[in-house]
Amino acid sequence: MALDVPAMTLHVTSVRAENLLKTIRSYLPDYRVAIVEMALDFATEAHQGQLRKSGEPYIEHPIATAEYVAKLRLDATTIAAALLHDVIEDCGIPFDQLEAKFGTEVARLVDGVTKMSRIDMLERPVGTDGQVALADQGGAANQEKAAERAASMRKMFVAMAHDVRVLLIKLADRLHNMLTLKALPSDRQVSIARETLDIYAPLAHRLGMGDLKWRLEDEAFKYLHPREYKQISRMLARKRTEREAYVERCTVTLREALEKAGIQGQITGRAKHLYSIYNKMDRYAQTGRKFSEIYDLIALRVIVETEAESYAALGVVHSLWRPIPGQFDDYIASPKENMYQSLHTSVIGFDGYPLEVQIRTQRMHEIAENGVAHHVSYKEGAPSSDRFEQKMTWLRQLLDWQREMHGDAEYLETIKTDILGDTVFVYTPKGDVIELAKGATPLDFAYRIHTELGHNCVGAAVNGRLVALNTALQNSDTVEIKKSKTGRGPSLDWLNPSLGYLATASAREKVRQWFRRQERTDTIDRGREVLDRTLRHLAVTATEGELARVMGYPSPTDLLEALGRGEVDTQKIADRLSVSPAAPAVLPEAPAKPPSKEDATTGLVVMGTNNVLTKVARCCSPVYGDEIVGYLTRGRGVSVHRENCPNIRNEDEPERLIEVAWGHAENRLPVRVRMDAYDRVGLLRDITSVVSGERVNIHSISSEEQPGGRCVVALTVYTTGIDQLSRLFAKLGTVRGVTNVTRTSLVDRKPRGALGAVAGESKLRAILEP
């Protein structure tokens, strides 16, 4: 049945089609325009009678997509593919028919975009705040869907790496979808907006397409955080007149100064994008800084003719206004990997307001706005460029990872951290710029340069100073790697996320590959050493067989081999040993005796009863995540012990043992930690620095000298549970001079073993009933 489409809507479609043809006729020869016209006719016929959710003819969408691609002045092949990008998926047109009519190149581009579009159909679970995960979903069905999604996304990235025009079309397609998103149900709006922010906006940034990136981010922001979007919009609108007057004042002053210096420049006020303001406000709020301290909320952009004039204009700006220390970046001398070039400086402008100024040439500006699409490689009949190919090495990296990595989720995780995440720019000693994921370390840098350099890294210097290998790199750092003279290979500790040695998934995968190549017996021995150390740290008694079952491995050998290869880290073991809270905490309404501050355990559930006072036993000091059991005392509620507590094992009245479970992990519970170490100046300082760095509160600390220049350091800390305790122990084990870290009883104030056996019924009762 024919659909009744309003005449006005058909007129709009006709106007949009004419605008598209007018744009391409301005730069394409007639014989290439004919290809686009043929594709437009074909798409119009294929989508005949189809409507979008908004009620407009479906052909509006491919024409709008092609319009954006044409504004980038791309070739006829790309524009034709943009017009046809939905005919395979939505109209049932076979690949062979497209290939016969438009050629192999157009057909392959359309097929590539179709594969990317199919990923949008794989729905992801969405929380109340719109947060979604690209992998790691709970439950068998969600895990299956996550695996399917990871496999599909892997195909998408590989298709994109073979021909970046596939991504250019998809980005234009996504932009128009975001502009018309209001026609969809709210859950779909949130899902598509989150995907846009997680995947497509970062990809636009990677391609250097700044204009498209901020448009995608602002549209996604509107649906993900509608309240904050409206707040910032209103705030900017209220101060718009004041802001425009200030920008005009700065513009006139700077223009006059540039003319006096003989520099012809185009000066414009640059509007800060809403999502960028939101991110900056959030970061500033975390550090207690005010909104007025966002330096580039008010900004000027200066476009000059030559690179030399860019630096001359910078001198003029600094002569007019005082520069803010640490707020200058030279991306002309050191371009970003997405080809972006510009000078950035922040100054104190009129009336003490901060002002950012960007200075660049016209060519740099075009690249900054359109990135890869501006490059001659994608213009009609233009040759390629070695410099451009060098800047697009990250695309080839996708193909390298495709060959190296067997797991789809692993491949996707690498792209998420190394390609789509936030970045920092650091320098090699020769001055080359290296782009790394935010939080990357000198080890990540070493593996980025060369795999063997990473394997044999023994030290690093940042800005001329020796630093730890897990030091987070900052923008503009210069990094030098110290290499071992003999092949030594990586350490398993580098794969421990609690220690923070590696932030990039690609570097972690290279370390795992090295361990996979080692002898199996050595791998098992290494895994057993890791497991023994972990259980000793957590004071957990369990056999290798029990742990293998908990971790889902068919045999202890398989678990040990996985540990030895670095496929399982100690944090995962701690997480699996933790008890997942399955019921809400039951709080006592009127306890007979208020628990002390140290022993309060309002997050414990006594099975089968309410309003029971619970107290943590000091003999074994259980924390959230430990396997626990309750002991019913006489008149003082339930004393909670770890299941492997020796006093519980020796209990001769088993009827007084009752089942208890952890409720919410809101409370912090005391834990006694013992460290054996070689005494040195600064040891306690380094230990307390590590503890405070993990946001763990220290209740008390003491040290005791031992023969041979050794010492024992004991401290009581308040922890949220066994997972935090595992991270803390891992970090403490890296402190210079510390040889062993163990968990002891709160009543054990002397070196390990001082508690000894409990003699007699009275002593046992004293411990079981704190």
Catalytic residue among 4, 18, 75, 90: 90
Catalytic residue among 41, 75, 89, 408: 89
For the chain, give the percent of residues with pLDDT over 90.
22
Encoded amino acid at 550, one letter: V
Mean pLDDT of the 245-262 span: 90
In which band, very low, low, confident or very high, does the pLDDT at 598 lie, cut at 50, 70 and 90?
A: very low
670/725 Cα distance (integer angstroms)? 11
Q: Which pair of tokens denotes residue 599?
A: 């022993």
Residue pLDDT, tens place only, 154-178 = 666 666 666 778 888 999 999 999 9
Instruction: Locate the DSSP E strands across 261-336.
Output: 266-271, 298-304, 322-330
pLDDT given for residue 408 in this prediction: 56
Q: Which pair of tokens denotes residue 135?
A: 């992998």
24/7 Cα distance (integer angstroms)? 26
pLDDT given for residue 597 in this prediction: 35
The answer on pLDDT for 504 being more than 60 is yes
206/194 Cα distance (integer angstroms)? 18
pLDDT given for residue 474 in this prediction: 86
- Of 409 and 121, the one with more pLDDT: 409
Please confirm, yes or no, whether 90 is among the known catalytic residues: yes
Please confirm, yes or no, whether 598 is among the known catalytic residues: no
Total count of residues recorded for the chain: 770
Helix, strand, coil distribution of the chain in percent, nearest 5: 50, 15, 35
Exposure string of 70-104, with b = 16+ CB inside 10 Å and e = fewer, is bebbbbbbbbbbbbbbbbbebbebeeeebbeebee
pLDDT given for residue 616 in this prediction: 82
Average confidence score pLDDT of the chain: 76
In which band, very low, low, confident or very high, does the pLDDT at 583 lie, cut at 50, 70 and 90?
A: very low
- Of 596 and 174, the one with more pLDDT: 174
pLDDT given for residue 603 in this prediction: 56
pLDDT given for residue 418 in this prediction: 61
Report for 95-109, 653-667, 744-758: range of highest mean pLDDT: 95-109
The answer on pLDDT for 479 being more than 90 is yes
Q: Report the candidate in 402, 410, 417 with the shortest Cα–Cα distance to residue 158.
A: 402
Contact status, residue 560 vs residue 712, Cβ threshold 8 Å: no
Query: Which of 138-142, 623-627, 640-644, 754-758 shows the lowest mean pLDDT across its residues?
Result: 754-758
Q: Report the candidate in 136, 155, 131, 163 with the shortest Cα–Cα distance to residue 147.
A: 136
214/204 Cα distance (integer angstroms)? 9
The predicted model scores a pTM of 0.57
User: What is the phi/psi pair of residue 547, to 5°?
Assistant: -65, -35
In which band, very low, low, confident or very high, does the pLDDT at 753 lie, cut at 50, 70 and 90?
A: very low
Mean pLDDT of the 612-636 span: 77
pLDDT given for residue 762 in this prediction: 37
The owner of tokens 């163990």 is 742
In which band, very low, low, confident or very high, does the pLDDT at 693 lie, cut at 50, 70 and 90?
A: confident
The answer on pLDDT for 200 being more than 80 is yes
In which band, very low, low, confident or very high, does the pLDDT at 405 lie, cut at 50, 70 and 90?
A: low
In which band, very low, low, confident or very high, does the pLDDT at 149 lie, cut at 50, 70 and 90?
A: low
338/207 Cα distance (integer angstroms)? 6
In which band, very low, low, confident or very high, does the pLDDT at 357 lie, cut at 50, 70 and 90?
A: very high
DSSP 8-state code for residue 556: H
278/224 Cα distance (integer angstroms)? 12
338/105 Cα distance (integer angstroms)? 26
Query: Which of 347-361, 582-596, 641-655, 677-691 shows the lowest mean pLDDT across its residues?
Result: 582-596
In which band, very low, low, confident or very high, does the pLDDT at 298 lie, cut at 50, 70 and 90?
A: confident
Residue 181, SS3? helix
Where would I find the H helices in 287-385? 307-320, 362-370
pLDDT given for residue 549 in this prediction: 80
pLDDT given for residue 319 in this prediction: 92
- What is the H or E stretch that residue 437 is in? strand 433-437
The answer on pLDDT for 655 being more than 90 is no
- Helix/strand/coil (H/E/C) assignment for every residue in 336-362: CCCCCCCEEEEEECHHHCEEEEEEEEH
**Distance set, CA 552 to CA 3, 529, 544, 572 (Å):** 56, 20, 12, 12
557/534 Cα distance (integer angstroms)? 17
Neighbours of 600 (CB within 10 A): 17
Mean pLDDT of the 630-655 span: 79
Contact status, residue 250 vs residue 355, Cβ threshold 8 Å: yes
The answer on pLDDT for 11 being more than 50 is no
The owner of tokens 């590989």 is 158
The answer on pLDDT for 78 being more than 70 is yes
The answer on pLDDT for 62 being more than 90 is yes
pLDDT given for residue 10 in this prediction: 47
Mean pLDDT of the 312-319 span: 94
The answer on pLDDT for 190 being more than 70 is yes
Residue pLDDT, tens place only, 372-392 = 665 544 555 444 444 444 455
The answer on pLDDT for 625 being more than 80 is no
pLDDT given for residue 396 in this prediction: 58
Query: Which of 67-71, 92-96, 588-592, 646-650 shows the lowest mean pLDDT across its residues?
Result: 588-592
Contacts of 421 (CB under 8 A, 6+ apart): 202, 437, 438
Phi-psi region of 464 (alpha: psi -120 to 50; beta: other; left: phi over 0): left
DSSP 8-state code for residue 604: E
pLDDT given for residue 169 in this prediction: 92
Residue pLDDT, tens place only, 520-540 = 777 788 888 878 877 776 666
Q: Please, what is the end-to-end C-alpha distance for the chain in angstroms?
A: 81
Phi-psi region of 566 (alpha: psi -120 to 50; beta: other; left: phi over 0): left
Q: Which pair of tokens denotes residue 502?
A: 């590696």
CA dihedral 145, 151, 152, 156 (to 10 degrees): 150
pLDDT given for residue 529 in this prediction: 81
Q: Report the candidate in 245, 258, 215 with the shortest Cα–Cα distance to residue 357.
A: 258
Contacts of 215 (CB under 8 A, 6+ apart): 175, 178
